[in-house]
Structure 1
């Protein structure tokens, strides 16, 4: 080995003092500045749009309604939270959290779950999401995992589709 890996990043030959590595690259957006910019974007420019997923509840409107909270940034969906609410039981079940990778660690997931709680103030929330990327936010928001015995009694089974 030549030992080049052990040299300091930048050195000035006249004074032989080390120059900070970020001095030559001060214009690049990386690290802290990028995360801060994305956090500001997540709080300022993201809109929440709600939509219902058809075909989950029965035609009379009984039972849990499958809904989706869309996180929209300038006509582009950057995240979705799938959930069911049952007005009869006052229970809510989060079934999926999908947020694009650039918006991870920006607080957007926490903001979206807080928005859900404010839209449905009398709802007790549970979650079936078990992915590692979403366990932390569910723990911070104090949303427990759903148990099979604590299901809504008004649940209507999803329709079964058969290939013709």
Structure 2
């Protein structure tokens, strides 16, 4: 027995982590959603669903006119952290909205590394939309 406990316990931890990673890549669906009754009318959400249960979400705002997107929140259940699901969700968001320049208002320790890995710069929460001089609004497409 070493400092980390018996070998079989370390093997269980490794297998559990591998199992969660496989689960994150095989069994998670990404569903776009509008946020009704949210803090902003232009905010949208990408739901991460595992067997009819929401296990995470990415909240964001888009402006079709200036092709900018702002990620306002990334939430994952504890068991899906460190499985690559956050990276997969942001990659999915980028593929759904090609050509959009993404930035984020998040500065939490748990999301800072994820955003750095995905090359998404941080910005001020009150940052204005570049074409209107107003907070980023989603404008309807003509």
TM range (shorter): 0.7 to 0.9
Q: Is the 8 A contact 2:31 2:47 kept in 1?
A: yes
* Ranges of 4+ aligned residues in structure 1 off by more than 4 Å: none
Contact 2:35–2:44 (CA under 8 A) maintained in structure 1: yes
Residue pairs, 1:1-164, within 5 angstroms: 9=1, 21-22=6-7, 25=8, 30-54=12-36, 56-57=40-41, 65-147=42-124, 150-152=127-129, 153=132, 155=135
TM-score, structure 2 length as denominator? 0.82
Give the superposition deviation at 1:155. 3.4
Task: Kindly provide the CA deviation profile for residues 12-42 of structure 1, in whole angstroms up to 9, marking residues without a partner as x.
Answer: xxxxxxxx933xx47x973211111000000
**Once the 2 structures are TM-superposed, how far is the Cα of residue 146 of structure 1 from its aligned partner?**
1.3
- Structure 1 counterpart SS, 2:112: helix
**Higher helix content, 1 or 2:** 2
Unaligned residue ranges in structure 2 (runs of 5+)? 138-142
Work out the number of aligned pairs and report it: 130
Distance 1:148 1:47, change over 3 A: closer
Q: CA deviation at 1:151?
A: 2.0
Asked which structure has the greater CA Rg, the reply is: 1
Tell me the alpha carbon deviations over residues 133-159 of structure 1, each in whole angstroms, 9 at most, x when there is no partner: 0100000000000136852135378xx
Query: CA 1:156–1:129 in 2, change beyond 3 Å: closer, same or farther?
Result: closer
